[in-house]
Amino acid sequence: MEPVVRIASRTVVLPADNVDTDQIIPARFLTGTRRDGLGASLFADWRRDGAGELRADFPLNRPEAQGARILIAGANFGCGSSREHAPWALTDYGFAAVVSPSIADIFKGNAVRNGLVPVEIELSAHRALLSRPGAEIVIDVAAGTVSLPGGGSARFELPPFARRCLLTGRGPLDFLLEREPAILRYEQGKDDAAAAP
């Protein structure tokens, strides 16, 4: 995982609330055994019509959205399944951050572990971003700030460990592997208790 410190990009706006993981990547695209290549199936049933043609009116398909790395989404983004294919599809497509008033729990964790920054901001700041699709903004992961199109900035919180994972590119697996002696001690206590007569 590459460190993520600062993201400067245009935005693309998808205002619907409760966008679920079945919309982010429909289940029929989960039949692979690899992490890469899922960007082509991102929002598949919204981006393309029944004949497979791109829908011109879908925000991601507009010319000005090409190359945008920040997705401004509605509330409760990423609800539904635990499929990590959802952040894989978003990052493979080119997104580096999702900005929303609230992001679903499992998705949020999956996002951090894949270097996709989950940015939860207050409603007034969110409204400012919704109203200006294509705005150039900056997300500063270290400072926990998002610049707003009309000037000023909004703060966002990340658990300290998640922030460090993003900034260093080191994930929880490294941390857990370093705690092996403590895990072993705990585990032996547990196994002994279970084996006790």
- 5 vs 138 by CB, closer to other proteins: 5
Residues 1-40 that bind other proteins (CB under 8 A): 16-18, 20, 22-23, 26-28, 30-35
**Which residue has 């009309």 as its token pair?**
150
CB of 138 to other proteins, least distance (A): 26
Within 13 A of 58's CA, how many CA atoms are on the CB side?
Answer: 13
Residues 115-154 that bind other proteins (CB under 8 A): none
Q: Quick one: how many helices (H) and strands (E) in the chain?
A: 8, 7
Q: What angle separates helix 85-93 from helix 105-112, to the nearest 10 degrees? A: 50
**Which helix (H) or strand (E) element contains residue 45?**
helix 44-47
| Cα separation, 111 vs 96, whole angstroms | 10
Residues facing residue 170 across a β-bridge: none
Per-position x/- string for 39-78, each x denoting binding to other proteins as judged by CB under 8 A, each - no binding = ------x----x-----------------------xxx--
**Contact footprint for other proteins (CB under 8 A):** 16-18, 20, 22-23, 26-28, 30-35, 45, 50, 74-76, 79-84, 87, 102, 104-106, 109-110, 113-114, 159-161, 164, 171-173, 175-177, 179-180, 182-183, 186-187, 190
